Structure 1
Amino acid sequence: MIFSANTMTEKRSQVQASRPIRIIAITRKPESPSFEHRITRYRKGLTEYGIELTFQTLPRSVRGQWQVLKDMRRYDGVWWHRHLLSPWVSTRLHKETPPIVFDFDDPLVYSARGGGQHSWSRQILFSRMLRRSSVALAASKSLADLALPFCPSVVEIPMAVDIPTRVESPVRATNKRLELLWLGTEKTQPYLDLIRRPLMDLGYRKDVKLRLVAHKPMTFGDLEVDFRPWSANEQTMALQACDIGLCPMPDTVWTRGKCPYKVLQYMAHAMPWIGSAVGENRIMAGSNLKEQRGLCASSNDQWMQMLVQLTQDANLRRTLGNQSYKYVAGNHCRSILINRLAKTWRNVLGQEK
């Protein structure tokens, strides 16, 4: 969704539609999941719209960054991935620089440490970068709101997820033990401690176990835990086999703007899920809608109540799973978002027909 429009400059309109649009995508961390999901996975699809991406790692040295800024002038546009430039580098962004599209998926005005403390220095760098950008691509509505005061045009591009070919939630075998699922990174694994008590209390259910696709084992009292070291293959198998996804999160200014990728994965596999009632979790779950897509809990008691409810009600699991699948297929499908991205770039460069 485009929140505001911007008059195109004469230079942008000079880009010839008869040749491919050449975009340089710049990042400090080319191997990061953020860069992969926000930019790399769009590379092939954008070529079908006549947009060619070249990837460039931003050096740490000031001299190296100056050279990258100089090289940017050979391209039609710049897709800048989240990094905030220091003042003595950002001053080199002048009128000869091609249009910049700034892409971010975290609330960059806050520090990730300690739950997210507001940083005035980051606020200044963030605002300066956005004022030099033609468009900001935000991963959520709350992140878009952070950019609006500083950028003339903000486009919401949510995280995309690969959608398996499936039309409804699978019916699990009645003799199969129900499997809860948590998967994720070493950084977010401590979030499971937030629901340690309800998971331990669920230990009396011998027909329920937890599959943990993570970086280290954990125990939760008498609840059986099937630990699988994280790998792409283990993740895929878990998403296909498990019954209920889990997404506990602390309530901080940092997490309120994030849409956990694991929730999108659960939903894309028509898996019902329970998450903490924090930020984007509530939006993804449709907490205020009649037809909910997930369940959100605000306390240990609510977590326990919802765990018991979902493990006992197969019809509810099927309904939530189907609603989840329909939602992500219509809002987070990569083909839909590629079209939105292509339209954004052609708007920026004055080529939109």
Structure 2
Amino acid sequence: MKVLALSPIPEEGAGCRFRISQYLPYLASQGIDVTVRSFYTRDFFRLVYRRGHFLRKSLVFLGLLARRLTVLRELDQYDLVWLYREAVPIGPLVIERAIARRGLPIVYDFDDAIFLPNVSEANKAISFLKDTGRPARIIAFARHVVVGNEFLGAYARKYNPTVTVVPTAVDTTRFAPRAGRERLPETGPVVGWIGSPTTYHYLEDMAGVLKEVAGRHRFTLKVSGAGKPVHFDGVSVEEVTWALEREVELFNTCDIGVYPLEDDDWARGKCGFKAIQFMACGVPVVAAAVGVNREIIRDGENGFLASTPREWAEKIERLLTDASLREKFRAAGRRTIEERYSLRVTAPRLAKILQEAVAVHT
């Protein structure tokens, strides 16, 4: 069985890496041969979230579009198209409609509320090019729709009854706790935030909370992925450049993880993945009490949920000062991921979806 996987982003993007690429070895063991074609190159993926450079972005984009159209000549080689988010980030659904006209089954996967108007700060000038109705049209002609949480599933079922929730998972043999975690650095515990330029504003909104806690307890705030220099008044900040090859190590250098979000529909479409990564590495986490975080975290049992600045401050402080609580969350959080959010659980489910989509077609 041969599958063509189309993603707008390369493996450097978490979506492609964790919704597609990490499954390839298991799928191959089940006789499913997957070829991945990303729209963005690695270099363009780095460029696209930088402010400005619109002429350069436009010229490179046109070249990438021409390259993407060449997949239409390859479709006869495949039994199925596994589409993550969209074949091309903006514009008409030329690729998707061509695939559907060929009668090739599509398994459509998305893990964000891409049907809502949300554009990065770096690209707001071209926000008018984003068509939020595109996901609904793709969903309608997909053979099977796979989503990362039930909020997304409820949207997808408006247009297609064949929808399955497969949470974003991790390989728990890679994302695993390091030995000797409780040997805290002399500068105090490390509170970690790991994200991207598009999510950094959530951490900025916590500046007052972090300053308040830092006034009473010594800790270092480790920040990775902000995309710009980070300074919070009254808080000791360590900035670390994100690198794919050091991803697991980065989570494992944190003693407490924070995962702030706003309470809105865009956040409800998120899949709680940073909480999952922290917990897989045995890092106690405080997360926004929003969306799927409420399913992943049982407040006070395997982590903390917070809704107000007071709750954020109190719960971060409890973890900073209580080693036994950190140990409790470390073990319980890891167990949650192993039981519900590991490849061991999700890979067989995904393989079955792909196989059945082809079986129905034939």
TM range (shorter): 0.7 to 0.9
Letter in 2 for 1:111: P
Q: Secondary structure at the match of 1:23?
A: strand
* Structure 1 residues 291-330: aligned runs within 5 Å: 292-330=301-339
Aligned to 2:30: 49
AA of the residue aligned to 1:125: R
1:30: Cα distance to partner?
2.9
Deviation at 1:93, TM superposition (A): 4.2
Superposition pairs of residues 167-178 of structure 1, within 5 angstroms: 172-173=182-183, 176=186, 177-178=188-189
Residue 78 of structure 2 corresponds to residue 75 of structure 1: yes
**Aligned residue for 1:192?**
203
Structure 2 letter corresponding to 1:246? V
Q: Tell whether the 8 Å contact from 2:117 to 2:132 is kept in structure 1 after alignment.
A: no
Report which stretch shifted further, 105-114 or 83-92: 83-92
Change (3 A) 1:93 1:168: closer
262-271 or 226-235: bigger deviation: 226-235
Tell me, yes or no, if structure 1 residue 38 matches structure 2 residue 38: no
Give the structure 1 partner of residue 113 of structure 2. Answer: 107
Q: Deviations over 1:94-139 (max 9, x none)?
A: 4542211001111121121389xxx9x8454222211211100101
d(CA) in 1 for partners of 2:81, 2:336: 31
- Structure 1 spans left out of the alignment, 5+ residues: 1-20
Q: What is residue 270 of structure 1 aligned with on the other side?
A: 282
Letter in 2 for 1:97: G
Contact 1:84 1:129 in 2 (8 A): no
Q: Structure 1 residues 335, 205: CA separation in 2 closer, same or farther (over 3 Å shift)?
A: same
Aligned position for 1:140: 149
CA distance in 2, matches of 1:228, 1:101: 37
1:50: how far off? 0.3
**Cα deviation digits, residues 283-341 of structure 1 (max 9, x gap):** 22124xxx632211111111111111121222221111211101111122123222111
CA contact (8 A) 1:110 1:122 kept: no
Deviation at 1:173? 3.2
State the distance in 2 between where 1:89 and 1:241 align: 42
**Which secondary structure does the structure 2 equivalent of 1:111 belong to?**
coil
For the pair 1:160 / 2:169, whether they are aligned, the reply is yes
2:53 maps to which residue? none
Q: Point out the more displaced range, 295-304 or 155-164.
A: 155-164
1:269/1:111 CA distance change after superposition, 3 Å: same
Counterparts of 1:182 and 1:209 in 2: how far apart (Å)?
11
Gaps of 5+ in 2: 40-60, 122-127
Which whole-Å CA distance do the structure 2 matches of 1:125 and 1:174 have between them? Answer: 49
Task: Please tell me whether the aligned partners of residues 110 and 148 of structure 2 are also in contact (alpha carbons under 8 angstroms).
Answer: yes
1:81 maps to a residue whose letter is: Y
What CA RMSD, in Å, does the superposition of the two structures yield over aligned residues?
3.2
Matched residue of 1:79: which SS?
A: strand
Identity of aligned residues (%): 25
Partner secondary structure for residue 173 of structure 1: coil
Higher gyration radius (CA): 1
Does the CA-based 8 Å contact 2:168-2:273 persist in structure 1? yes
SS of residue paired to 2:206: helix
SS in 2 for 1:350: helix
- Residues 84 and 240 (structure 1 numbering): CA distance in 2 closer, same or farther, change over 3 Å? closer
Q: Residues 169 and 191 from structure 1, CA distance in 2 versus in 1: closer, same or farther, beyond 3 angstroms?
A: farther
Which of residues 251, 260, 265 is equivalent to 1:253? 265
Evaluate the alpha carbon distance shift between residue 28 and residue 221 of structure 1 in structure 2; reply closer, same or farther with a 3 A threshold. closer
1:228 pairs, out of 204, 217, 240, with 240
Distance 1:98 1:308 in 2: 54
Distance 1:264 1:348, change over 3 A: same
1:243 counterpart residue number: 255
Q: Which residue identity lines up with residue 19 of structure 2 in the other structure?
A: R
268 and 57 in structure 1: CA distance in 2 versus 1, 3 angstrom threshold: closer
- State the alpha-carbon separation in 2 of the partners of residues 67 and 233 from structure 1: 31
Corresponding residue SS for 1:329: helix
Q: Which residue of 2 aligns with 1:15?
A: none
Task: Normalising by structure 2, report the TM-score.
Answer: 0.79
State the number of aligned residues: 327
Indicate conservation of the 8 Å contact 1:160/1:333, yes or no: yes
- Distance in 1 between residues matched to 2:250 and 2:133, nearest whole Å: 43
Question: Which residue of the partner structure matches residue 23 of structure 1?
Answer: 3
State the one-letter code of the partner of 2:166: I
Match of 2:215 among 197, 204, 211: 204
d(CA) in 1 for partners of 2:349, 2:80: 16
Return the alpha-carbon distance in structure 2 between the equivalents of residues 268 and 304 of structure 1: 24
Q: Which residue identity is paired with 2:5? A: A
**Structure with more helix by fraction:** 2
> 2 CA distance for matches of 1:83 and 1:349?
20
Tell me if the contact between 2:100 and 2:106 (Cα under 8 Å) persists in the aligned partners: no
Partner SS, residue 351 of structure 2: helix
1:349 aligns to 2:346 (yes or no): no
Distance 1:69 1:145, change over 3 A: farther
For 2:224, the aligned partner's letter is: V
Output the TM-score relative to the length of structure 1: 0.81
